[in-house]
Amino acid sequence: MSSKTSKSKHSGPSTLGKLYLIAYNGIQTLGWSYLLLQTATFFLNRGKLEDFWNEIKWTVIIFQNAALLEVVHSAIRLVPSNVIVVFMQIFSRVFLVCGMLLATHSATVSPGLPLCVIAWSITEIIRYAYYALNLVNFVPQILLFFRYSTFLILYPIGITGELLCMYHSLDEVVEKQLFTVSMPNTWNFIFNYYYFLVFYMSLYIPLFPYLFGHMLKQRRKMLGDDTKKTA
């Protein structure tokens, strides 16, 4: 994650840096809100799954890839987040968009796509709104609670959607030999995208508990006092 995921001793960005982060997080909040509105409108109007990606494609491409800036924010210490954790959280989504949804038709008609988009949208609206308001020290208690609670449901839904999209694309990847390099070739190099995807999907098994556990720790840190008060 890009901005403040926990309370820390980080002195905070400069005035210019703070203005930039407020603008960045504000724009992202609006972008993901628009995506959620697009999604709700599409399905309320009984849109067909095979047409869903064309409806939301550019919104997803723009605002999901813009999240790569969060890795830069962490790397240059504009925010106090761990750059490795940020990269792992951002990479899976960017890879799904660029490596699956833009490369295969099968992924775009997978039932996993709506799951991803809905989970991502709600998560990001809350997350970016929290970051923006936190920069001006005005975070409503209810937003703080949602920021560190909704992931309990939305994170597994999003992961399930991502895996479904990748799973449904496997046959197409094999059939079209997408991004696959066979021997012989000038570089004496071989790469099979299908096997890479199978391996990549298997990484969700160890990485999901790690990232989910990270969020649970953040939840205990940020909501711990409130939990004790209500216990």
Active site residues: 155, 162
Q: Which of 211, 204, 219 is nearest to 147 (CA)?
A: 219
Neighbours of 107 (CB within 10 A): 27
Alpha-carbon span 117 to 228, nearest angstrom: 34
Alpha-carbon span 54 to 59, nearest angstrom: 10
CB 96 within 8 A of CB 72: no
Alpha-carbon span 3 to 130, nearest angstrom: 9
Q: What is the largest CA-CA distance in the chain?
A: 67
DSSP string, 216-231: HHHHHHHHHHHHHHH-
